Amino acid sequence: MLTVSFLIMPQTTAMSEMIQENPKTAIQPRGEGRVQSPEIRSDRFGEPGVRGPVKVVTRDLDLFYGAKQALRKIALDITERQVTAFIGPSGCGKSTYLRTLNRMNDLIPGVKITGQVHIDGVDIYQKNLDVVELRKRVGMVFQKSNPFPKTIWENVAYGRRIMGERNKATLNEVVEKSLKQAALWEEVKDRLHHGALGLSGGQQQRLCIARALAVEPEVLLMDEPASALDPISTAKIEELIFELKSSYTIIIVTHNMQQAARVSDVTAFFYMGELIEVGDTRAIFTNPVKKQTEDYITGRFG
């Protein structure tokens, strides 16, 4: 069981104790068009970090909300089947960047994006890309749980039904499997046809995770998924993230640096729209290369 702590760490060394066929273009299936990531190293330690197949590659990414630039020349490789955490002060661009990975920013008027984001070797901003297919493969869990005003069963089955699945036995299997993956099955298996809004906040968030998993994504984006939850519910979400990373590429935005230290393999620090530093989580929290990173982690600003 993970221990939840809200103690502010005054020194970076203290963190180390906590780290243990369609006319539109389709995203390629898992395993195709991938490259091997280089070792992630701390320039100060030279310690080898996390390595493996790269799932997401971003190069020279700029994003504007009208005349205001929110992201500047972001270049980042995200490794498959690991947890990557984005940290940084409010307004630094970490959630904005997260939303570029499934093109949620397309829904905001006045947004302009330049640069490249590739998933499995496919530029997701190319013309004629099937955005619906992209969002099926890149699921998202938001900061505030948002279950539909439907039953628990209907919430989890919703995505598969929209995709055309009508077989009740298949849908039942999907619902059970997804709720088990989200560590919620035992708590709700006897009330699947009760309203989802009757669940607790933590249960609702895990239900939203189950709903995202039901369409079998390859990447799971989590925008501060535990920020509104109590410590017990937060611990369950963190345990769930740890269990899911063997099957999914997980990218999480968090303001809680202790949470990033507990759950992530790689940490990226954003500040004022720029990616300041990225590396193995242990190295980032115990001996960061950039002074801005150290100042943020030690609480000098943010």
Q: Is there a domain that residue 205 lies in?
A: no
Q: Is there a domain that residue 94 lies in?
A: yes
One-letter amino acid identity for 197?
A: L
Q: Is there a domain that residue 134 lies in?
A: yes
Beta strands at 111-119 and 54-65: parallel, antiparallel or unpaired:
antiparallel
Q: Is there a domain that residue 150 lies in?
A: no
Q: Is there a domain that residue 171 lies in?
A: no
Q: Is there a domain that residue 199 lies in?
A: no
What's the structural domain count of the chain? 1
pTM attached to this predicted model: 0.82
3-state secondary structure of 173: helix
Report yes or no: 287 and 45 within 8 Å, Cβ to Cβ: yes
Q: Is there a domain that residue 24 lies in?
A: no
* Neighbouring-strand partners of residue 94: none
From first to last of its 302 residues, the chain has per-residue pLDDT tens of 333 333 333 344 444 444 444 445 555 544 444 444 433 333 322 333 446 799 999 999 999 999 999 999 999 999 999 999 999 999 999 999 999 999 999 989 999 999 999 999 999 999 999 999 999 999 999 988 999 999 999 999 999 999 999 999 999 999 999 999 999 999 999 999 999 999 999 999 999 999 999 999 999 999 999 888 889 989 999 999 999 999 999 999 999 999 999 999 999 999 999 999 999 999 999 999 999 999 999 988 76
One-letter amino acid identity for 23?
A: P
Q: Is there a domain that residue 274 lies in?
A: yes
Burial of 89 (0-12, 13-18, 19+ CB in 10 A): middle
- Phi/psi of residue 92, nearest 5 degrees: -85, -10
Q: Cβ contacts of residue 134 below 8 Å, gap of 6+?
A: 27, 102, 103, 119, 124
Q: Which domain holds residue 247?
A: 35-145+219-297
CATH number at residue 40: 3.40.50.300
> Rounded CA gap, 148 and 133, in Å?
21
